Amino acid sequence: MLRWRRRALPKALGRLIEGLNPRPPAPQQRRRNPDAVVDCAIYAAGTRKPGAVHYNDARIPRGGFLWLGLHEPDAVTMREVGRAFGLHELVVEQTLEGGHRPGVEVIGDVTRLVLRTARYVEHDQLTATSEVVDTGDITLLIGPSFVITVRHGAAGALWGVRKEIEKRPALLRHGPWAVAYAIAGRMVDDYLSVSADVERDLERLEEETFEARRSAEVAHFYQLKREMVELKRAVLPLPEPLASITPPTALQPYFVDVRGRLARAVDRINGFDNLIDSVLQARLTQVTMAQNDDMRMIAAWAAIAAVPTVGAGIYGMNFANMPGIDSRYGFWTTIAIIVLACGGLYWRFKRAGWL
């Protein structure tokens, strides 16, 4: 009986400790993303063919094309798409990750075009931590009979682009590059819209800077400059890739229009730097002037306080022979001299604008 207790006691203690400190659950493998495919459709003669389509089983008619839209696909989904369309493995790997710089490259008969997305984040008031611009990216894989769009981030949803271009059958007849034009045009329109909203934030900061009652904090300017850097990374590198692509001849005027609108967005965003720097310089000047005013006020009060300090220091040295010690009115005379001296200094500093 004693031996049984000796063996059972450690087991019971072990079960008790294990109950107090449960083992962490085994990590689960990431499941396949079922929502990666946003939409998949076949377009022929400028119209969308009815019915649901899967890219593995799609039969693309002659002269038509397939548009497959993906949102943040996982590796399994993207590799299946790569096998279905004969994509190079490096293209598949690059498309899996977001944060790419705008650019274009041609691999075989597939053109890879990367566009940055941007959207304005609404906020009641600009603070030191406000998110003003949210960016992502879209990768377009443009082949002879297909276009694959892979979007990363919350910005740049393409359902509106798809609905709009489906209303333009004459444009859809030009094939996958028509989709590329529509998406590029929408991204540029978003840049112009975001820049207009950011400009309103700048105007609000400018008004607050020159208000008599309240001025904007310097941290707000630096936060807006950080957000502007993110927007510039999305917009400023894009003109060169757009200028280097070679769409079909019928679509070249459309891309010329996109490049023209993009130039306006680039000019506007570049102008924001000068505007932010000018308003920030004015605010820093205000801060410097306020600090100078504070220092002058402190110096003025220190000078006024020095008068009674000197008087108390002199008459506190406990010498036997000091003027006025034996006088009946010596104390009140000293107080009067101190008050007159302090009052004179106060009047002089007040007149000079130090107080």
| Per-residue pLDDT tens over the stretch 260-299 | 999 999 998 888 877 777 777 777 776 777 778 778 888 8
Span 113-120, mean pLDDT? 92
Higher-pLDDT residue of 301, 355: 301
* Summary mean pLDDT of the chain: 81
Q: How confident is the model at residue 9 (pLDDT cuts 50, 70, 90)?
A: very low
% pLDDT > 90, the chain? 32
Domain segments of the chain: what residues? Answer: 37-288, 291-352
If you average pLDDT over each of 90-99, 126-135, 220-229, 269-278, which comes out highest? 90-99
Query: Residue holding tokens 């598949």?
Result: 92
Exposed e or buried b per residue across 182-192, where buried means at least 16 C-beta atoms within 10 angstroms of its C-beta: bbbbbbbebbe
Burial zone of 130 (CB within 10 Å; 0-12 exposed, 13-18 middle, 19+ buried): middle
Q: Over 50: is that where the pLDDT of 149 sits?
A: yes
143 by DSSP, 3-state: which? coil
Superfamily of domain 37-288: CorA soluble domain-like (3.30.460.20)
The per-residue pLDDT for 20 is 45
- What is the C-alpha separation between 55 and 117, in angstroms, rounded? 25
The per-residue pLDDT for 311 is 78
Tokens of 138: 């879209």
Q: Over 90: is that where the pLDDT of 300 sits?
A: no
Listed range (28-32, 62-66, 234-238, 344-348) with the worst mean pLDDT: 28-32
Q: How confident is the model at residue 27 (pLDDT cuts 50, 70, 90)?
A: very low
Q: How confident is the model at residue 7 (pLDDT cuts 50, 70, 90)?
A: very low
Model confidence over 199-244: pLDDT tens digits? 888 877 777 777 656 555 666 777 777 788 888 888 999 999 999 9
Q: Are 321 and 330 in contact (CB under 8 A)?
A: no
Q: How confident is the model at residue 253 (pLDDT cuts 50, 70, 90)?
A: very high
Task: Give the helix ranges, DSSP H, for the chain.
Answer: 2-20, 75-85, 89-96, 159-166, 169-172, 176-209, 218-235, 239-244, 252-315, 330-352
Tokens of 185: 């045009």
Q: How confident is the model at residue 258 (pLDDT cuts 50, 70, 90)?
A: very high
Per-residue three-class SS string for 185-249: HHHHHHHHHHHHHHHHHHHHHHHHHCCCCCCCCHHHHHHHHHHHHHHHHHHCCCHHHHHHCCCCH
This prediction's pTM: 0.71
Span 94-107, mean pLDDT? 88
Higher-pLDDT residue of 128, 17: 128
Q: Over 80: is that where the pLDDT of 26 sits?
A: no
The per-residue pLDDT for 287 is 74
Q: Are 308 and 315 in contact (CB under 8 A)?
A: no
Tokens of 128: 């030191």
Q: Over 90: is that where the pLDDT of 347 sits?
A: no
- What is the C-alpha separation between 192 and 212, in angstroms, rounded? 33
The per-residue pLDDT for 215 is 58
Could you tell me how far CA 284 lies from the centroid of its own chain? 24
Higher-pLDDT residue of 13, 44: 44
- What is the C-alpha separation between 319 and 335, in angstroms, rounded? 19
Tokens of 172: 């859809």
The per-residue pLDDT for 66 is 94
Q: Give, in degrees to the nearest 5, the angle at Cα 181 between 194 and 99.
A: 55
Q: How confident is the model at residue 142 (pLDDT cuts 50, 70, 90)?
A: very high
Instruction: Choose among 287, 116, 289, 311: nearest CA to 215.
Output: 287
Tokens of 4: 């049984």
